[in-house]
Structure 1
């Protein structure tokens, strides 16, 4: 199996696990958790494939992605019922899924001949869209839109730009993926640690 496929399987598993952890305390039953996990795991990749015109969609072409998401969701569901996970578990697993899916999406867009800036944007969509759908379904403001949220989509953007830039100057190599994913993960975790945030829009007070 190609390395790119393994990365996407790991991303699906990470996003499915994050969805289960996000459902904790929301009164969602097992069926609801499975739906939430599937939407989170394949949502970003689905939007990417629709934008690229890729048919069939990645999880329809290879149903093992669906089984991976479901198996991870059930395993995580059972685990959290019998063990108390650290408070930062959701944020950490979400950051891993963000890094994996962000570069997987960017690489697939480049493989389809997308221009660099389009590949970067589709990498961001692949990384964050599943989490947006997850948060909307659980009646929360999506993480990416919160004013108090540390660098999130920005971390994916930076990693995707680095990946595209490296591929522009050098022939494809495996280490390009790992470097770009490590950059996303490092930025996200550092932002969580030191509260790095983008400035928010504040209009100057106007005289009546």
Structure 2
């Protein structure tokens, strides 16, 4: 198993947990849990592979990601009541999954010989699209769109850290570790300390 494949599977695992927990908040049945978990787990990687022209898409080439996501959904379906605050778990697990998925996206694009901007975009796409689909389907306010929060910004900064580390001559492990660390650090700071970007505020009309 390659490092990129391992990162994809790790992000699938953690994103599947968040999808299943959102399914619990939406009071779905077990099939709904599995659907949302799988959608969240493979959504970002699917969009990435389609944009990059990878054939076949990663979970079609190997069904392990979908099977893993479905198994996670089943486990969460029977155990979610043990958690005191599902929303807190969703937010923090999503931050972990984001950091891993961004690294995977950057790594896949780099491995295909894509340029720097494509690598950055694929990191963002891989990290954010699954969670966006999850929240839209379950009628939640998407984490990626919450006012001022560092989400896409964290993913972009993580991708930039990977590119910089590679330009400095670092190997694959340090490059992807830097990507994940910067992404998680910024996202965690936004969650824990309220780090925000300036938000648009409409000015009152002139009298």
Q: Which secondary structure state, in structure 1, belongs to the residue aligned with residue 133 of structure 2?
A: helix
Residues 102, 179 of structure 2: 8 Å contact kept:
no
Report the equivalent of 2:196: 197
Report the equivalent of 2:115: 115
User: TM (normalized to structure 2)?
Assistant: 0.93
Report the equivalent of 1:131: 131
Report the equivalent of 1:168: 167
Q: How many residues end up aligned between the 2 structures?
A: 206
Distance 2:84 2:21 in 1: 9
Report the equivalent of 2:185: 186
Distance 1:167 1:62 in 2: 29
Q: 1:8-47 to 2 correspondence within 5 Å?
A: 8-47=8-47
- Alpha-carbon deviation of 1:198? 1.1
- Alpha-carbon deviation of 1:203? 3.7
Distance 2:156 2:25 in 1: 31
| TM-superposition CA deviations, 1:114-165 (whole Å, max 9, x none) | 1101110110011000000000100122111121x53111111100111012
Distance 2:84 2:174 in 1: 32
Distance 2:9 2:188 in 1: 22
- Alpha-carbon deviation of 1:193? 1.0
Structure 1 stretches lacking a partner, 5+ long: none
- Alpha-carbon deviation of 1:187? 1.2
User: TM (normalized to structure 1)?
Assistant: 0.93
Residues 123, 159 of structure 2: 8 Å contact kept:
yes
Distance 2:116 2:84 in 1: 39
Residues 159, 179 of structure 2: 8 Å contact kept:
yes
Q: 1:29-68 to 2 correspondence within 5 Å?
A: 29-68=29-68
Q: Which secondary structure state, in structure 1, belongs to the residue aligned with residue 25 of structure 2?
A: coil
Distance 1:195 1:93 in 2: 17
Q: Which secondary structure state, in structure 2, belongs to the residue aligned with residue 24 of structure 1?
A: helix
